[in-house]
Structure 1
């Protein structure tokens, strides 16, 4: 299918941000209300997803909001040598407040403030929108630390992220702040082409779904951002058509087994991992994309 530069330019445009910003502010104000049952706990709130990363298109709807408990943290010490693991164990103390308790209190508080339409899903809490507010998904989670070193006399190093458990018991660790920071740096280093190119790919994915070329859910926006994050910076720029063509050609010939998610920590393509794109879905997306683009 032939795509004009004007069509790609239209697809590169960012969707509305005014209503999403207002939605985040409204929900954030409720979460940070001093009358909430979790007010005395330490936590932070921030946007993630397409609106948080400025890759939203006009078809995007839900605003993704993270509320991260920082009074406690969960950890991964699998990469520590034995001595550092011993140092870590000596430093640990038990915590009475837990993530499940935090999630229950956040759900109850949001229901009290936004009504019975609030529903706790497998991962996030859904808040229905109204005339001035978009639908929102609030993800209660806790701080996660993947320790790299733990010497006895300071100098501890770790990746700081988030952790939560889905309803089926699946543990999910991710790094949304690193993802966002890396996408912004990539955008700057590609003469502001990266995020615009992500939007083009998202619009092409949506068009393929509408035309029955691709099933929904095969290519989430998060993985599209991760895929394009691995394309060398010099392949972005000049024109949108050339940029998209360069990206498709590069991914088609690259060793994609070495691609990382945009957070720079997780592998992008692995089977059996909740934060990785399955090989089958990736291959299905690329096959449909190349036929759509040709």
Structure 2
């Protein structure tokens, strides 16, 4: 017997947001402080992740905050012709301030503001929660511009993103604003079914983790949202049970090798630092199907 309608309705609901809002306001205020050593630089602060995309569920804890250096930008020229790359290089002007300098200043400032609650991680700066402030990750990054064209005349076709370098390893690129924009459009195109469905899949994942059916790193929220982004709009809708069944059946039968991330800049499945291993996706879907059938 499938998961009950009432259980799916509960899982579809958004988790609480009041503590998240308070945490974000506190961190944004600290990062925007006029006394910080980087205040005169150009930078932006915004959210990414489940809270940004309204797909947070009960039990979500970390608040994902991005502080992006805008004084400089890095580029992805892989889609340009050799002629276009040469044209870009001839017009390029180097920057005088580095992302490393910016990150060092942000880290020092956060340690001054939050003391021992601050720990530098492999990708982001972790700030331990205290009182009503939740745990938070602050990602320090720079602007990234992925060029698809660089014509001699006219405007280049470019997609804006972010990039950063972990302590060891190659540059990591992401497009959180594009991800959020596309998820919002998908939600509208599915008549408001996309985001509740994402929350159902996340809650089911969390339940399976608690029951030790799957390991806790098998299906990160970002990739779950990306997986569901590929489901055709017409598969969403009906009752909660019908919606879940139709979405799951389509995912199990689909050629998932062609799936895109929700930002539409990368394939969803693969072996790079921005993709989901295909075996993990398959294992997650098989576990979901087994749980659905046995419920």
TM-score range, shorter chain: over 0.9
Residue matched to 1:64? 64
Residue matched to 2:4? 4
TM superposition shift of 1:23: 0.8
- Unmatched segments (≥5 aa) in structure 2: none
For 1:45-56, list aligned pairs within 5 A. 45-56=45-56
Q: Map Cα deviations across residues 13-47 of structure 1 (whole Å, 9 max, x no partner).
A: 10111111111111011111111111111110100
SS, match of residue 8 in structure 2: helix
Q: CA RMSD in A?
A: 1.1
Looking at structure 1, the residues matched to 159 and 20 of structure 2 have their Cα atoms a distance apart, in angstroms, of 29
Are the counterparts in 1 of residues 13 and 199 from structure 2 also a CA contact under 8 Å? yes
Q: Map Cα deviations across residues 74-95 of structure 1 (whole Å, 9 max, x no partner).
A: 1111211222212211111222
Looking at structure 2, the residues matched to 168 and 118 of structure 1 have their Cα atoms a distance apart, in angstroms, of 20
Looking at structure 2, the residues matched to 150 and 27 of structure 1 have their Cα atoms a distance apart, in angstroms, of 38
Looking at structure 2, the residues matched to 136 and 209 of structure 1 have their Cα atoms a distance apart, in angstroms, of 22
Count of aligned pairs: 293
Residue matched to 1:216? 216
Give the TM-score, by structure 1 length. 0.97
SS, match of residue 228 in structure 1: helix
1:284 maps onto 2:283 in alignment: yes
Residue matched to 2:122? 122
Looking at structure 2, the residues matched to 82 and 2 of structure 1 have their Cα atoms a distance apart, in angstroms, of 55
Residue matched to 1:183? 183
Residue matched to 1:198? 198
SS, match of residue 162 in structure 2: strand
For 1:106-121, list aligned pairs within 5 A. 106-121=106-121
Looking at structure 1, the residues matched to 269 and 201 of structure 2 have their Cα atoms a distance apart, in angstroms, of 18
Residue matched to 1:263? 263
TM superposition shift of 1:58: 0.8
TM superposition shift of 1:188: 1.0
Looking at structure 2, the residues matched to 275 and 91 of structure 1 have their Cα atoms a distance apart, in angstroms, of 30
For 1:118-157, list aligned pairs within 5 A. 118-157=118-157
TM superposition shift of 1:264: 1.2
Looking at structure 1, the residues matched to 236 and 79 of structure 2 have their Cα atoms a distance apart, in angstroms, of 36
Q: Map Cα deviations across residues 36-85 of structure 1 (whole Å, 9 max, x no partner).
A: 11111111010000001100001100000001111101111121122221
- Unmatched segments (≥5 aa) in structure 1: none
SS, match of residue 112 in structure 2: helix
Residue matched to 1:31? 31
Looking at structure 2, the residues matched to 200 and 18 of structure 1 have their Cα atoms a distance apart, in angstroms, of 21
SS, match of residue 192 in structure 2: coil
Q: Map Cα deviations across residues 131-150 of structure 1 (whole Å, 9 max, x no partner).
A: 12111100000000111122
SS, match of residue 30 in structure 2: helix
Looking at structure 2, the residues matched to 60 and 280 of structure 1 have their Cα atoms a distance apart, in angstroms, of 25
Looking at structure 2, the residues matched to 54 and 260 of structure 1 have their Cα atoms a distance apart, in angstroms, of 20
1:171 maps onto 2:171 in alignment: yes
SS, match of residue 96 in structure 1: coil
Looking at structure 2, the residues matched to 150 and 226 of structure 1 have their Cα atoms a distance apart, in angstroms, of 29
TM superposition shift of 1:96: 2.1
Looking at structure 1, the residues matched to 193 and 152 of structure 2 have their Cα atoms a distance apart, in angstroms, of 45
Give the TM-score, by structure 2 length. 0.97
TM superposition shift of 1:223: 0.5
